[in-house]
Amino acid sequence: MKKINILIIFFTELPKMPSHYCRQRSAKVYLEYNFSSKANLYRVYVNKCEESNIEHVSYCTFSNTFENLNLSLFSPKKDQCNICVAHKAGNIPESDYTLHIQLKDRARAEKSADKEKAKEGKCLAFVMDVQAVKLCPVNNANKFYFKTRLKVHNFTIYNLKTHHCTNYWWNETEGDLSSSVFTTMIIDHLNEHCDNDLPIVLWSDGCPYQNRNAVLSNALLQYAVNHKKLVIQKYLEPGHTQMECDSVHSLIERKLHNREIELPTDYVKVTREARLKPAPYDVKYMRHSDFRNYDLRNQMAYQSIRPGKKAHDPTVTNLREIHYEPEGKIQIKLQFNDELTDLPQRVVKNPSLMPVFDEKLFTDRLKIAKTKFDHLQELKSTLAAEVQGFYDNLSYE
């Protein structure tokens, strides 16, 4: 086989990160294992060739092939904004860019105003976001380069006034990334941390399955009706979704530096250590039995949150603000400067008659792929004997 083909196989076999769930589409493919540099990855490749008595390519060829395959060593916390990047390269009209910047600044100003209102005791304001995917186990054993590992997620909800925040951690055997999973955590959070009559404002990016869908909207409407208070969702401008959760995530990342992770629960420990003042971060470790099924279409008051009906009408991605009224109505804005209007969708069920969503979303832990199970069995041998049982008990397809 040609040297170059062997190199391409080497790159193909390296596990890749799942594409950025909610972020802007990026053509880059990120490697799962955190190589410190391209030179470091080259050494791994050269060692592998030497072990098999194969001739290796030069660093220059290695590097060019890496670039041609669109590979990248690090996944950025937030992708760069496509519009801003295109503008820098001179690829979009000035007027489009100006409008984009106006919208970005308008969203920022709106969020600052909500923070001020929260400080004045006029509302409760939260921001929420997921951290970049983590993996388990993590250590320095060489075996890890080519092995797929368990995915572990953290969804953070942060109070803009008190700086209290809760980090909801779960691994892929306990829950997926469906809207019911996120809805469970958001509703639990409101039930536990909003014990007064103040309106609630929830800021996030516009990721559809996470923050902007009919499942979550019906659950928030039910919460507003049952608790007789106003709930408002607002969305940051795509490409500019930096928020307070990012500082939480970077403090956690800093603590994770050079840290070995043997079990998903090790992320809970690290999160508690990541901040000491004014208090350690709140953490909840979610199990499959904690998640409830909110995706019961025939029980929902609104079947859809689409702000239009015809082909060229606005879509869900155009929503900037959604109000869930205690009287059972959903109102929307497509621009922060707009007046509120009724969501143009028929109410098919009286919102106060929506059932209690207490059906379990998963009857059992979720299965992983057989190849991942096999890889984890191999990796297990590098871990302490006490934790190996966890990997024995995973179920696979």
Q: Name the minimum Å distance from CB 238 to Zn ion.
A: 8
Specify the residue, 23 or 117, whose C-beta has the smaller distance to Zn ion: 23
Residue 383 touches Zn ion, criterion: CB under 5 A: no
- Shortest spacing between CB 92 and Zn ion, in angstroms: 10
Question: Is 123 within 8 Å of 133 (Cβ atoms)?
Answer: no
Can you say how many angstroms the Cα of residue 149 is from the centroid of all Cα atoms in its chain? Answer: 18
Contact 17, 71 (CB under 8 A): no
Tokens 């302490």 found at: 384
Minimum Å gap between C-beta 237 and Zn ion is 7
Which residue has the closest beta carbon to Zn ion? 81
By CB under 5 A, the residues from 259 to 318 that bind Zn ion are none
One character per residue 216-255, x = contact with Zn ion (rule: CB under 5 A): -----------------------x----------------
What is the CA angle 259-261-262, rounded to 5?
145
Give 238 or 326: the residue with its C-beta nearer to Zn ion.
Answer: 238
What part of residues 89-128 is at the interface with Zn ion (CB under 5 A)?
none
* Residue 81 in the binding site for Zn ion (CB under 5 A): yes
Identity of the residue, 107 or 263, whose beta carbon is nearer to Zn ion in the bound complex: 107
Between residues 79 and 282, which has the closer beta carbon with respect to Zn ion?
79
d(CA 5, CA 23): 32
Q: Which residues does 102 contact at the CB level (< 8 Å), separation at least 6?
A: none
Q: Which stretch binds Zn ion (CB under 5 A): 76-84, 173-181, 290-298, 314-322?
A: 76-84
C-alpha angle 357-363-364 in degrees, rounded to nearest 5: 140
Residue 291, CB-side half-sphere exposure with 13 Å CA sphere: 28
Q: Which residue stretch of 75-83, 136-144, 173-181, 271-279 sits at the interface with Zn ion (rule: CB under 5 A)?
A: 75-83
Instruction: Name residues whose C-beta falls within 8 Å of residue 3's C-beta, 6 or more positions apart in sequence.
Output: 54, 55, 56, 57
Task: Please report how close the Cβ of residue 384 comes to Zn ion at its closest, in angstroms.
Answer: 46
Listed ranges 82-90, 185-193, 266-274, 279-287: which one lies at the site for Zn ion (CB under 5 A): 82-90
Q: Total residues at the site for Zn ion (CB under 5 A)?
A: 4
Choosing from 7, 22, 83, 132, the residue that interacts with Zn ion (CB under 5 A) is 83
Do the Cβ atoms of 187 and 194 come closer than 8 Å? Answer: no
Q: How far apart are CA 254 and CA 383, in angstroms?
A: 23
Give residues with Cβ within 8 angstroms of 306, minimum separation 6. 313, 315, 316, 345
Figure out which of the listed residues 84, 251, 268, 347 binds Zn ion, where binding follows CB under 5 A. 84
Residues in contact with Zn ion by CB under 5 A are: 81, 83-84, 239
